[in-house]
Amino acid sequence: MRFIDKLLNMSRQNSSLLCIGLDPDPELMPGRDVVQFNRAIIEATGDLVCAYKPNLAFYEALGSAGLSILEETVKHIPGDVPVIADAKRGDIANTAKAYARALFSVFGFDAATVSPYLGHDSIEPFVGYRDKGVFILCRTSNRGARDFQDLRTDGQPLYEIVARKAGEWDVHGNIGLVVGATYPEELKKVRSMCPEMCLLIPGIGTQGGDLASAVRYGVDARGERAIFNVSRQILYASKGEDFAGVARETADRIRRQINSHLTR
């Protein structure tokens, strides 16, 4: 099944555009067993999400055991729920082939984030997996995004050029864009440029992006094809033994808030 079909199926089934970032930080978790923590979060929220998104950095930071923990985490996610590898990979073509094979064939992720900085040949190996989603960094949610993404070439900021190129490269219909909720006007612009493309939208919650604006500008004409990622606000809503239950309550509240903006 294609990533976009899997995403839309789950989004409609759970009435959700919410993605939970599975980014375990042992210093913030109520216990030290990452596998059990992730499993509890997944079991508590599986009917509230459209996807999960593990950020590979948090697993790599755990050393050699981290990759095993990542594999175990992915196994706990129900097969009908898409899993996005937040890897931000980007390298020369031969290396990109190895990255794509690792993420899609070895770990079995449904989608991955990639960097466009090296150009088309660094993206192409990922796009060649036609059933997988490929989210290109376009207008990221961090404060330093302006350092490069606002630079103008031929009168256009770089992030707009990335969006336009992504549209040209999307020969299999499996490319999406990462656009932060912290930059609502840029999000509006990217959506107007790519009306049917799937957008992965971080930055609400802890980073302070405005949810109402992000929903209004981020969804497509049908109120779909937008993935709103929240990590810390849900994972660490409680540091007590009730963390899974509180995570569920928080996720459901955010899901409902997203949905409430769809009808306005």
pLDDT in tens, 254-264: 999 999 999 65
Q: What's the whole-number mean pLDDT along residues 212-219?
A: 96
Number of other CB atoms surrounding residue 7 within 10 Å: 26
Per-residue pLDDT of 32-91, as tens digits, reads 799 999 999 999 999 999 999 999 999 999 999 999 999 999 999 999 999 999 999 999
Catalytic amino acids? Answer: 88
pLDDT score, position 264: 55
Tell me what the pLDDT averaged over the chain comes to.
96
pLDDT score, position 208: 77
CB 134 within 8 A of CB 195: no
- Cα(226)–Cα(209) distance, integer angstroms: 15
Instruction: Quickly state the pLDDT bin for 206 (edges 50, 70, 90).
Output: confident
Q: What's the whole-number mean pLDDT along residues 9-32?
A: 95
Write the CB contacts of 78 (distance below 8 Å, at least 6 apart in sequence).
46
Residue ranges per structural domain of the chain: 3-262
Class of CATH domain 3-262: alpha beta
CB 80 within 8 A of CB 6: yes
- Cα(229)–Cα(86) distance, integer angstroms: 11
pLDDT score, position 185: 95
Q: What's the whole-number mean pLDDT along residues 100-112?
A: 97
- Cα(136)–Cα(199) distance, integer angstroms: 9
- Cα(217)–Cα(185) distance, integer angstroms: 8
